[in-house]
Amino acid sequence: MAAIESFSATHPGDPEPGDLIEIFRPAYQHWALYLGDGYVINVTPVGKAGARVRMQLLKDVVGSDTYHINNKYDGTYAPLPVEEIIRRAEYLIDQEVSYDLLSNNCEHFVTLLRYGEGVSSQANRAIGAIGFVTAAAGAFSLLGLLRSRSRERQY
């Protein structure tokens, strides 16, 4: 990895190898793992259920968006040694991996590299919202069925 000059895309601090980088896209957050020398590893969707693991310059992945270093799970999971994180990450470069928004997304990918555990609060929030909507729809359906039966009994 060749060294590159620093860039200023609203970057708060200098990432260290193994850091999780949260990138704020207009409708979601994208996640990458910092490798060093300005490079990150991340997954980019390539088909219905697949993604390609790519090593790219952080500035290219961020583009015109903003980002910050966010090792938010360090209090819950112990980070693996940096050398192991980087070794595991480099092994996966250019490989195709499965991808699923709710169970195997970009945040799952980078947290699996850093902690050995794939975690995504973004996916957990989405699953919670889906569960709430499903429960609410079920409750409204049940209320409709009960009302319908109540009317049938009156006649």
Q: Is 30 a catalytic residue?
A: yes
* Residues sharing a CB contact under 8 Å with residue 89, sequence separation 6 or more, in sequence order: 33, 35, 41, 113
Sorted by where each begins, the domain ranges of the chain are: 1-119, 121-155
Mean pLDDT of 104-125: 85
- Catalytic residue, from 11, 68, 106, 108: name it: 106
The predicted pLDDT at position 153 comes to 57
> In the predicted model, what is the mean pLDDT of residues 6-27?
80
Q: What is the pLDDT of residues 22-56, one digit of tens each?
A: 999 998 899 999 999 999 999 998 877 789 999 99
Q: What is the mean pLDDT of residues 114-120?
A: 92
> Which pLDDT value is given to residue 126?
47
How confident is the model at residue 138, as a pLDDT? 53
Identify whether 11 is a catalytic site residue.
Answer: no
Instruction: Report whether pLDDT(129) > 50.
Output: no
Write down the pLDDT at residue 147: 59
SS3 letters for the chain? CCCCCCCCCCCCCCCCCCCEEEEECCCCEEEEEEEECCEEEEEEECCCCEEEEEEEEHHHHHCCCEEEECCCCCCCCCCCCHHHHHHHHHHHCCCEEECECCCECHHHHHHHHHHCCCCCHHHHHHHHHHHHHHHHHHHHHHHHHHHHHHHHHHC
Nearby residues of 106 by Cβ (< 8 Å), 6 or more positions away: 30, 31, 32, 42, 43, 51
| First-to-final CA distance of the chain | 80
Per-residue confidence band for 12, with pLDDT thresholds at 50, 70 and 90: low
77-90 confidence digits (pLDDT tens): 999 999 999 999 99
The CATH superfamily holding the domain 1-119 is endopeptidase domain like (from Nostoc punctiforme) (3.90.1720.10)
